[in-house]
Chains A and B, each alone.
Chain A
Amino acid sequence: MHELSIANSILEAVRAEAVRRPGVRLLKVGLRVGELAGVEPEALSFCFDALVSGTELAPLALEIETRPRRQLCRECGRTFRVVDYSIVCPDCGAAETRCIGGDELEMVYLELDET
């Protein structure tokens, strides 16, 4: 599984932020994971906690927001969530729809204590 390398990449980015903000305690990092990202949130959380534990970053927390696949209808312009792999527009029935999200793997925010 590659969740350990993903967790490591997140921590590298967090450490870079920590260097930029001396004296600030980092509490939580927010992550967005799309269902097409190929990343298992539970395995990622497990690896993240294992890597953080015992380091200067502990007890840094990870909050994962999962994102469904979204399509945009080329006919009527509606954006919809994909359920059961059906990419046909639920409004107008058009089959010509374009994927506009669901493969995210992004750090969204950092929660910190500046006191």
Chain B
Amino acid sequence: MSVVGDLFREFFLLSFVAFGGATALLPEMHRVVVDHHHWLDDTTFTHLYAIAQAAPGPNVLVVTLIGWEIAGLAGALAATLAMCLPMSVLIYLLIDRWQGFSGKRWQQAVSLGVAPLAVGLVFSGAMLIATSAGLSPAGWILVGAVVLANLRFRELHPLWLIAAGAILGIGGFA
């Protein structure tokens, strides 16, 4: 099977566990793309995540970048489509019946139950990016400063923190 076909299949499967969107999926994408298939190395994976952070648009576009690096335009489109299509179809079919499910005890239980797992996934993704990036001690201080700035000053647009990261990075502080 071609790489494009493999990409489509892998991201199609990933979309079914993407609770919390593409952000929570980072560790699993890394496992599949870097550890399992060896399509990308650690550094490239981290760079693609950084590019997606610095670009406008939904978080899911990191998938597009991964697809592009592995198999060009066909890979980019296949990975994006595979990631978006299954749940889009499902939601298209379910939305009219959603009013009936909404507020039911099982529905609340799943929503409550998935939250702590999603926190763990996002945290794992952050640690993965930090370790794959090969940060210097100054880089870790930058991570801490961004955490504090983002939690402390909610009105501060995240883009400013990204820009600060880029400038400090160029200055050798990461």
Determine if chain A interacts with chain B.
Answer: no
Residues of A near any B CB (own CB < 8 A): none
